[in-house]
Amino acid sequence: MNANYLQTPVTYLKGVGPHRAQLLESELGIGTYQDLLNLFPNRYIDKTQYYKINQLQRSGADVQIVGKIIHIKTVEQKKGKRLVATFIDDTGEMELVWFRGQKWIRENLKLNMPYVIFGRCNWYNGKFSMPHPELELLSEHEKGVKVSMQPIYPSTEKLGNSGITNRVVSKLLQQLFIESNGKFMETLSDPLLHELKLFSKSDALFNIHFPKDQASLAKAQFRLKFEELFYIQLQLLTKKMLRKQKIKGFNFDQVGELFNGFYKNHLPFTLTNAQKRVIKEIRADLGSNAQMNRLLQGDVGSGKTIVALMTMLLAIDNGFQACLMAPTEILANQHYNGIKELLDNMDVTCALLTGSTKKSDRNIIHEQLENGELQILIGTHALLEDKVQYKNLGLAIVDEQHRFGVAQRSKLWHKGRPPQTPPKGRVNEIHRKYQTVRPSAYSLLKQNQLERKKQTTEAERILWEQLKTKQLGVKFRRQHVIDEFIVDFVCLSKKIVIEVDGAYHNTPSQLEADEIRTKILKDLGYSVIRFKNQEVIGAIDSVLKKIQARLDSLPSGEVGGAFPPHILVMTATPIPRTLAMSLYGDLDISVIDELPPGRKAVKTVHRYDSNRLKVFRFIKDEIKKGRQIYVVYPLIQESEALDYKDLMDGYESIVREFPLPDYQISIVHGKMKPADKDYEMARFVKGETHIMVATTVIEVGVNVPNASVMIIESAERFGLSQLHQLRGRVGRGADQSYCILMTSHKLSSEAKTRLETMVRTNDGFEIAEVDLRLRGPGDLMGTQQSGILNLKIADIVKDNDILKTARWYALKILKEDPSLESQENLIIRHTYAQMVKHKRIWKYIS
């Protein structure tokens, strides 16, 4: 079959037409034959049995019956009308009922003709009825593909009201299989099919849509799930390998005085084995001549900051600057204060830059950063401002990186060393020579630019038609001015110039001018490709391949001689292994899975509201010991929709139970002014208040070792990840700490599972796995990233084993044949190229 057959618009399929095609596209995203083929059923109904009317039971089950419609009537009811048909077989009669679409149904029903009906039976007014049955003339039913298990496809109310029922979708798929003879191109190699005993692509697609039994369906599902996960892993692993090959990085080959001095003389505690292992992995990256792109996972309190600081000291030892970006001012301040304290007796310059930094201080930071005096900069999104320019940024660390968008992380990525510009004298010398050889080009530059926009050659028009569609994955501009030249086409992001040479480019003087022009552009950091007119007109596909090859050969991070900084992203939100393999499969991952010695595990208990007085007594006992308490509420103001304690009501009850002057209480929530919030936080940090009543603003960023009790009100309202983050605010000192989960007696089964998990374990990774099972990958990652895991048939939670198998085989194949050039892997290479071409594999930055 032609490889492009499945890209045929679905409007051309018999039975679709423009109106249905538009509905299928808008409601289900089905635009091509491929999309329709990949509309996999949600579930299946067994249609192996035909019932008689006298065999029906009052169980509300789905049944299939053969019979005739002998009478149709419209019945008035309180709201609107219903259409009722009398349906009989040789054992009795029943009613078929429609509440919508009655006009179309009445016009199309045929009396006294054998029908096969399918639907859910109800017992109503002493007889069986079937609302909105699936109907098919027996003659059509016998012609169709014999399906013992009826697939039920995703649908919407709009599709149903427009007559595109489950039966219609099934018919369209039957038509597609008839037109294609059920033959579809294989997408996996023979060794994979043989080793895993997989169905062929054609057999798998037929049995997913028209399974003859459970065994065939299971084999079809395994084959298609494996394929989907295999190609996602292939993309992630390919991306990872290419990045290591193409994106060059600064070589930190010195382990110098700062790193060694800090380790020997200033480290406040002995590193755990997990921290040592992670630092070793990072050092290997930094000395590999490739850009590091590593994800560091570590539970709350596991010691990620020390690892980050020691990595920054490695950068400084090698003559580079480092920065650390945090999502909130609170967290940025905490990092700054912690790192500043650790560097107290060391000759390292460190500054803090946030939205609150005074303008006079900002100016000093900007100046010191540009001249290299400032070695470490810590801050928030303020680090991304255009004014923030480094002399030589070698390392960028991002904390809680999932809180930053792709564009923000990309902006930080490009804060590396600015492009190297050739000495001014050399540029002027070459320019003067260029003017001597081609004086007209220089003097008529501005006029020519306007004229060139109007006068496009046939070759330029053909090439521009291809380039402007971004099919090469990058944006090009035409007739663009660079310095003193008008170039035919340029990709500014990749710094590639494409020139199309006409017949007059054959004279000696013009050839010399072209050569000098190319040299100048190269000095300005551009790569230049030249094509002849006839080459573009006669072989545009070959021209595009050459441009693509040049794009592929460029080190992705290198712009005009500059390398991107090494990247270390950190998270205290443990990511389940299955999710990490799918979302971050192209990064190297390090895990700190060990708490520092001396840390006592936080004791977690679940208490009901009826135990509140005992909890208050416990709080008073802890305060007598000199400890501090957090009390966290889910809401700021009372909500009519949700029966939960709100912050203000809770604050008032706490104040009554813990009155002045014996007790001092802080309150912090998201609607406070930043200055007021900082003031209350500071009081608690200094130990001036005993209790902090707060919302989840304290989830990340508050480090108070003296706080020993975390009370979470309406704990059933919080997700597992949030509960674990909140619990991480205590247990930071040497004393035993406690987390008390307060709830009402009314709990859903999911809430009970969350609370039981919290009480049972402190292991963030185990908690993350439970959270993934409960909420699914989309909810877990939030709206911004849930689309990444919008899989067609696989489920990374339920199909965890298939995911691991797919990743293992993808890795094995790429290790043995990185370019997929061997004969047996050509089919994989071709399929992968088609998927990327038709955007079947997502493009995203981890």
Asked whether residue 464 falls in the same domain as residue 517, the answer is yes
Q: What is the DSSP letter of 198?
A: P
- Distance, in Å, from the CA atom of 694 to the CA atom of 630, rounded to the nearest integer, reads 7
**What is the chain's mean pLDDT, rounded?**
83
Collapsed DSSP state (helix, strand, coil) of residue 124: strand
Asked whether residue 542 falls in the same domain as residue 610, the answer is no
- Distance, in Å, from the CA atom of 495 to the CA atom of 490, rounded to the nearest integer, reads 7
How large a percentage of the chain has pLDDT more than 90?
39
pLDDT digits (tens, 9 = 90+) for 143-185: 876 666 788 899 988 888 888 989 899 999 999 999 999 899 9
Q: Are strands 81-89 and 62-76 parallel, antiparallel or unpaired?
A: antiparallel
Q: Which residues contact 183 (CB under 8 A, 6 or more apart)?
A: 1, 202
Q: Which residues of 151-174 are buried (b: 16+ CB within 10 A; e: fewer)?
A: bebebeeebbebebbbbbbbbbbb
Asked whether residue 618 falls in the same domain as residue 752, the answer is yes
Q: How many residues does the chain have?
A: 846
- State the residue for tokens 């001012």: 329
Asked whether residue 396 falls in the same domain as residue 439, the answer is no
Check if the beta carbon of residue 665 is closer than 8 Å to that of residue 690. Answer: yes
Which alpha helices (H) appear in 576-719, and where do they start and end? 577-583, 612-624, 647-657, 674-685
Q: Which of 689, 628, 694, 664 is nearest to 330 (CA)?
A: 694
783 inside domain? no
Q: What's the start-to-end Cα distance of the chain, in Å?
A: 36
- At position 1, the amino acid (one-letter code) is M
Q: Which residues contact 528 (CB under 8 A, 6 or more apart)?
A: 496, 497, 498, 499, 518, 521, 522
Of the three residues 742, 761, 780, the one that is the final residue of a domain is 761
What CATH number has the domain bearing residue 492? Answer: 3.40.960.10
180 inside domain? no
pTM for this one? Answer: 0.61
Of the three residues 126, 146, 166, the one that is the final residue of a domain is 146
Asked whether residue 634 falls in the same domain as residue 740, the answer is yes
Asked whether residue 404 falls in the same domain as residue 437, the answer is no
Asked whether residue 529 falls in the same domain as residue 387, the answer is no
Q: Which of 74, 71, 64 is nearest to 112 (CA)?
A: 71
Name the β-bridge partners of 377.
323, 351
766 inside domain? no
CA atoms lying within 13 Å on the CB side of residue 627: 22
What is the per-residue pLDDT for 145? 66
Of the three residues 146, 179, 197, the one that is the final residue of a domain is 146
539 inside domain? yes
CA atoms lying within 13 Å on the CB side of residue 601: 11
Asked whether residue 534 falls in the same domain as residue 447, the answer is yes
Asked whether residue 486 falls in the same domain as residue 525, the answer is yes
- Distance, in Å, from the CA atom of 161 to the CA atom of 156, rounded to the nearest integer, reads 9
- What is the H or E stretch that residue 220 is in? helix 214-246
What CATH number has the domain bearing residue 126? Answer: 2.40.50.140
Name the β-bridge partners of 351.
377
Name the domain count of the chain. 4
Domain containing residue 120: 48-146
Collapsed DSSP state (helix, strand, coil) of residue 747: coil
Asked whether residue 629 falls in the same domain as residue 709, the answer is yes
Asked whether residue 671 falls in the same domain as residue 646, the answer is yes
729 inside domain? yes
What CATH number has the domain bearing residue 325? Answer: 3.40.50.300
Q: Are strands 376-379 and 350-353 parallel, antiparallel or unpaired?
A: parallel
Task: Measure CA 277 to chain center.
Answer: 28
Q: Which of 306, 314, 309, 281 is nearest to 295 (CA)?
A: 281
- Distance, in Å, from the CA atom of 47 to the CA atom of 520, rounded to the nearest integer, reads 74
What is the per-residue pLDDT for 557? 45
205 inside domain? no
What is the per-residue pLDDT for 60? 72
- Distance, in Å, from the CA atom of 20 to the CA atom of 28, rounded to the nearest integer, reads 11
pLDDT digits (tens, 9 = 90+) for 113-128: 999 998 888 888 788 9
Q: Which of 640, 558, 599 is nearest to 291 (CA)?
A: 558
Asked whether residue 617 falls in the same domain as residue 509, the answer is no
Tokens encoding 558 = 């290198």
Check if the beta carbon of residue 615 is closer than 8 Å to that of residue 740. Answer: yes
Which alpha helices (H) appear in 57-211, and where do they start and end? 102-108, 138-143, 157-161, 166-180, 190-195, 201-209
- Distance, in Å, from the CA atom of 413 to the CA atom of 389, rounded to the nearest integer, reads 13
- State the residue for tokens 């085989």: 809
Low-confidence ranges of the chain (pLDDT < 50): 418-424, 426-427, 438-443, 556-561, 643, 779-788, 840-846
